[in-house]
């Protein structure tokens, strides 16, 4: 898994907003000590309890645009009215050193990463159903009603892209979902 005889791999989790990607990533980082987490950048405001450099690098739209012009992102996309991107330098440095890097990116970003890293591990996280997804989004208390409606509409579109991902996992039970992903990571990184 942390084998310097091979470059590291990216492990990409994608899926609709509210499906549990961030929680799954936290659990994977606890279980798989060899993984590095790729912190994305965003132009959206911080939510309560978030810290710059931990959940995201929080940038103004202007600063984000400067990073784009400088080529500092491996991929970036506009999602729900905000910009999100994966900083290039730390990702490539970890891969070069043989470290496997866990990433939580939207479908647009995942599809872009598939082009640049075709040997990556791409996992699509699905909700049990849309009523459960709506319940989870409301339970976060981070979006207004109209934003939740927009996220649910977008989720229906994003789910169509699950076919592009090698693995599809329904997140009905966090523990079981994490166990399935750990098995995938072990299988894919020990070949």
Strand partners, 101: 10, 36
Mean pLDDT of 99-118: 93
- Domain membership flag for residue 159: yes
Please tell me the total count of domains within the chain.
Answer: 1
10 vs 49, higher pLDDT = 10
Average confidence (pLDDT) over 107-114: 92
4 falls within a domain: no
Range of the domain at 145: 10-189
Is 3 among the domain residues? no
**Residue 72 and residue 88 in contact, taking contact as beta carbons nearer than 8 Å:** yes
pLDDT band at 32 (very low <50, low <70, confident <90, very high): very high
Distance CA 28, CA 7 (A): 20
Q: Report pLDDT for 118.
A: 95
Residue 5 lies in a domain: no
Q: For the residues 99-124, what does the mean pLDDT come to? A: 94
| Residue 43 resides in a domain | yes
pLDDT above 90 for 55: no
Can you tell me the mean pLDDT for 171-187? 96
- Asked if the model's pLDDT at residue 3 lies above 50, the reply is no
Tens digit of pLDDT for each residue in 121-151? 999 999 988 778 777 777 777 777 888 788 7
Q: Residue 28 has which token pair?
A: 């994977």
As a whole number, mean pLDDT of residues 7-21 equals 92
Higher pLDDT, 108 or 29: 29
Q: What pLDDT, on the 0 to 100 scale, is given for residue 78?
A: 87
Q: Which residues contact 154 (CB under 8 A, 6 or more apart)?
A: 16, 17, 80
Indicate whether 80 pLDDT > 80: no
Could you give the count of Cα atoms lying within 13 Å of 7 in the half-sphere of its Cβ? 11
Judge whether 2 lies within some domain.
Answer: no
- In this structure, is residue 25 part of a structural domain? yes
Q: Which CATH number does the domain housing residue 60 bear?
A: 3.40.50.300
């Amino acid at each position: 898994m942390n084998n310097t005889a091979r470059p590291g791999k990216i492990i990409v989790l994608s899926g609709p907003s509210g499906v549990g990607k961030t929680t799954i990533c936290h659990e994977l980082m606890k279980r798989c000590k060899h993984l590095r987490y790729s912190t994305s950048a965003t132009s959206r405001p911080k939510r309560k309890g978030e810290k710059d450099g931990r959940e995201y690098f929080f940038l103004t739209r202007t600063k984000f645009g400067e990073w784009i012009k400088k080529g500092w992102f491996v991929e970036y996309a506009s999602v729900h009215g905000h910009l999100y991107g994966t900083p290039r330098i730390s990702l490539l440095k970890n891969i070069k050193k043989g470290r496997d890097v866990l990433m939580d990116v939207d479908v647009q970003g995942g599809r872009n990463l598939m082009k640049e890293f075709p040997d990556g591990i791409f996992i699509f996280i699905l909700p049990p159903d849309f009523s459960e997804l709506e319940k989870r989004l409301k339970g976060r208390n981070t979006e207004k009603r109209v934003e939740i409606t927009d996220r649910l509409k977008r989720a229906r579109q994003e789910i169509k892209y699950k076919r592009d991902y090698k693995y599809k996992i329904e997140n009905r039970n966090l523990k079981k979902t994490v166990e399935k992903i750990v098995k995938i990571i072990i299988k894919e990184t020990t070949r």
